Amino acid sequence: MKSKFNKYINISMVLLRFWQTSLAIELEYQLNMLIELVSVLGNLFGSLFILSLFYKSGPLLGGWNFFEALIVLGIYMILEGITTSILAPNLSRIVNHVKNGTLDYVLLKPIDSQLWLSLRIISPWGLPSQLIGILLIIYSLVSIQVDLSLFNILIFFTCLFASSLILYSLWFLLASTSIWFVKVWNATEVLRSILVAGRYPMSAYPRGLRTIFTFLIPIAFLTTVPAEVIIGRVSNEYIAIILIIAAIFFAISRRFWKFALLHYTSASS
């Protein structure tokens, strides 16, 4: 029990070290901060503008009013921020490790390789998007008079955790295929382009797309379902569903990585 505890302490020390070093690199480029802020604000106003166009043609978008749709957008922006902060900088480097052969060094470290590859770097440039996302959600919740109780906040962060885990697992699954296919390192970009659909409530899409976004690529569980839980459109039991789906995806990503490594270590030269 104690050794397990020590292990976690040790891992968090490692992570702190990682992040300290990666922040040190990023903060050398101050111009990026400005560009990132402008880009996040631009994206926000653009999205609000497009959303307002939808509502010009009718009072509801797939049965959602404007503020409810804003919550979906807010969750999307938070996930986008997490992508910029953690997923993109770490997972897009896996292919470089494979190409340069430095994956060997990662595998020879006495630490879980998936952890190392997924959390080595943290980039501050995703923060503005996460912050604005949270503000947007608070603003909308107040506007539609949802009770901001501690319980609801807890529910919200549980949902957010689950949907981040699903997002991470999807990214990691695609990124780890680069162990076989170095040439299609940009497969994660395709995922990213499809995830854009998560900006809007799923019910706003025609049935065909809705089916794809629910069962094939679980975008519905990334933004829409969490939003439904917070607003109270569906019962709280839905949290369990999101959590189970998240657990399944995470388990698949770990299994797949083990499988990929087996291939790597039995075929690499």
Binding site for other proteins (CB under 8 A): 10, 13-14, 16-18, 20-21, 24-25, 29, 31-32, 35-36, 38-39, 42-43, 46, 49-50, 53-54, 56-58, 61-62, 100-102, 104-105, 107-111, 181, 183-187, 189-190, 192-194, 196-197, 200, 204-206, 208-209, 262, 265-269
CA dihedral 122, 127, 133, 136 (to 10 degrees): 160
Q: Which of 223, 254, 235 is nearest to 113 (CA)?
A: 254
Residue 206 structure tokens: 């025609």
Helix (H, G, I), strand (E, B) or coil at 61: strand
Least CB distance from residue 28 to other proteins, whole Å?
8
Least CB distance from residue 236 to other proteins, whole Å?
29
Least CB distance from residue 143 to other proteins, whole Å?
22
Helix (H, G, I), strand (E, B) or coil at 237: coil
CA dihedral 183, 184, 188, 189 (to 10 degrees): 100
Q: Give strand pairing partners of 259.
A: none
Least CB distance from residue 37 to other proteins, whole Å?
10
The residue among 107 and 234 lying less far from other proteins, judged by its C-beta, is: 107
∠ Cα 88 115 25 (to 5°): 50
The residue among 42 and 232 lying less far from other proteins, judged by its C-beta, is: 42
Please tell me the distance from the alpha carbon of residue 217 to that of residue 231, in angstroms, as a whole number: 23
The residue among 100 and 236 lying less far from other proteins, judged by its C-beta, is: 100
The residue among 1 and 24 lying less far from other proteins, judged by its C-beta, is: 24
The residue among 154 and 190 lying less far from other proteins, judged by its C-beta, is: 190
Least CB distance from residue 117 to other proteins, whole Å?
13
Which phi and psi (to 5°) does residue 51 adopt? -60, -40
